[in-house]
Amino acid sequence: MKRVQFRRPIFPFLLLIPQLAIIAVFFYWPAGEAIRGSFYLEDPFGFSSTYVGMDNYTDTVTGSEYVSVAKFTLGFTAVVAFFSLALALLLAVKADSVLRGAKTYRTLLMWVYAIAPPVAGLFGILLFDQAIGPFTKIAQSIGWDFKLGVNYWDSATAMVIVAVWKQIPINFIFFLAGMQSVPMAVREAALIDDPSGPSRFFHVIFPLLAPTAFFLLIINITYALFDTFGIIDILHKGEPGNNPVTLVYKVYLDGFRGNDLGGSSAQSVILMVLVLILTVVQFRFMERRVHYT
């Protein structure tokens, strides 16, 4: 890599300013506000606020609703991450054996990733629509009276399916790229050493994919936790009622619908800590990661 040496160290900082400004305005400032707000009780009209210490936090984590949403979020994240990874890996394995190197298929699958979450949600609504949705029809034909937005677990199913469907392509691309970077000769050596295909995958290919898989796991957890907001909002048509929501969605509900700014801030601070932990885990792992050469 070519290194450019600046004579005055100020110039690089000048170049960084726009980026830093954006981060400050859209991230650090709101984050700071959230942390501050989480220690205050604000009246709904914003006229006055009272310092209440950790009350917002204790109220939040002891609230039975919060605990149940947290439990649902945990389950939702686990299920979404598991299925998006597992299905993507399955597809990648199949694709890898069929097309060593063909790019069109990869690009086609990548398109799905270019769809914004709310749009994915809209597709989901069509899919699960009470009157015309094909999924609803299929469910009914096997005796499942599927009602999106009415039955708690039916809504949960729809959320999982749309979220998984949306995430598969990116996982697929990463897995496929990972598989295609396993040297041909290593596969061939395995072919000579090991008569069983599944065993070769398990002992040789998958371990070489492990760094990719771990990276994707973190990405998928983050996705299920945070990026599914748009999907959920559209599927619930903005009216969650007693349908399942995730922690992020609850922050929005409590803050903007419930006007409980203090509680909502406390919740977002908890989520920020969660992101921080995920990031640390990821960086720790990346550092220790074995570089195979």
Partner 1 sequence: MAQVTISSVNKIYPNGFHAVKDADFHIKDGEFIVLVGPSGCGKSTLLRMFAGLEDISTGEIAIDDRVVNDVDPAQRDIAMVFQNYALYPHMTVYKNMAYGLKRAKKSKEDIEIAVQKVAKMLDLTPLLDRKPSQLSGGQRQRVAMGRAIVRSPKLFLFDEPLSNLDAKLRSQMRIEVRRLQRDLGVTSVYVTHDQVEAMTMADRIVVLNAGKIEQIGTPAQIYQSPASVFVATFMGAPPMNMLEGGFKDGTLTLSGGGVIPHHSHGANGPVSIGIRPEKVTLQAEETPGALPFTYEFTEDLGAVKLVHGLLGGERFIVHTHEEAIIGDDAKFLSIDGGSVHVFDVNTGQRID
- Contacts with partner 1, residue ranges (CB under 8 A): 183, 185-186, 188-196, 199, 203-204, 207-208, 210, 290-293
**What secondary structure does DSSP assign to 143-168, as a single string?**
T----TTTSHHHHHHHHHHHHHHHHH
Residue closer to partner 1 by CB (options 134, 207) is 207
Element (H or E) spanning 42, and its range?
strand 40-42
Task: Quote the distance between the C-alpha of residue 80 and its chain's center.
Answer: 8
User: Nearest distance from residue 219's CB to partner 1, in Å?
Assistant: 22
Residue closer to partner 1 by CB (options 186, 276) is 186
How far does the chain reach from its first CA to its final CA, in angstroms? 20
**Nearest CA to 227 among 123, 113, 133, 127?**
113
Say how many C-beta atoms besides its own lie within 10 A of residue 165's C-beta: 19
- Give the residue ranges of DSSP H helices in 181-260: 184-193, 197-200, 206-222, 229-235, 247-252
User: Nearest distance from residue 215's CB to partner 1, in Å?
Assistant: 16
Residue closer to partner 1 by CB (options 43, 193) is 193
User: Nearest distance from residue 288's CB to partner 1, in Å?
Assistant: 14
User: Nearest distance from residue 106's CB to partner 1, in Å?
Assistant: 22
User: Nearest distance from residue 102's CB to partner 1, in Å?
Assistant: 15
Residue closer to partner 1 by CB (options 40, 215) is 215
Task: Quote the distance between the C-alpha of residue 218 and its chain's center.
Answer: 8
Residue closer to partner 1 by CB (options 53, 195) is 195
User: Nearest distance from residue 95's CB to partner 1, in Å?
Assistant: 19
User: Nearest distance from residue 174's CB to partner 1, in Å?
Assistant: 18
Residue closer to partner 1 by CB (options 108, 186) is 186
Tell me, what DSSP letter sits at residue 24?
A: I
Q: What length is written for the chain?
A: 293
Tell me, what DSSP letter sits at residue 5?
A: P
Residue closer to partner 1 by CB (options 32, 207) is 207
Q: How far apart are CA 71 and CA 78, in angstroms?
A: 11
